Amino acid sequence: METDAARAARLNAEREDEIRRVPLQTIDKSKWPKDVRPIGMGEADGLGIDPDGRLYWNGKPVEIIGRRIDLTWTQTVVAIAVAVFTAIGALGESAYCGHVRVGAQVL
């Protein structure tokens, strides 16, 4: 069984390892909206942070509104290709629609 002193030493070592892997962030409360308050001590265990500074609440990532999307190089190329081919298809369809013949009639 673990003694209180051994448990405290283990917890301190774990905390030091956590802080070494993910350093503490500098907090600037002057940028906070007026209706935001600090987390209470009883709520603090629900918060987490990853090495990139992203916030987690109860293990789930907190969505940041207005944060830009970071795509990989492949995702960017595919997105651009899809956009270009969609535009080409739309232009082709609009040009084709004015010249469709049904029987002897032009639609």
Domain locations along the chain: 1-66, 68-107
> With 90 as the cut, is the pLDDT of residue 81 above it?
yes
For 106, the 3-state DSSP assignment is: strand
Question: Is residue 39 a contact partner of residue 47, using CB atoms and an 8 Å limit?
Answer: yes
pLDDT tens column, 49-68? 888 888 899 899 988 777 67
Who contacts 56 (Cβ-Cβ below 8 Å, separation ≥6)? Answer: 47, 48, 49, 50, 62
pTM of the predicted protein model: 0.34
Q: Which residues contact 84 (CB under 8 A, 6 or more apart)?
A: none
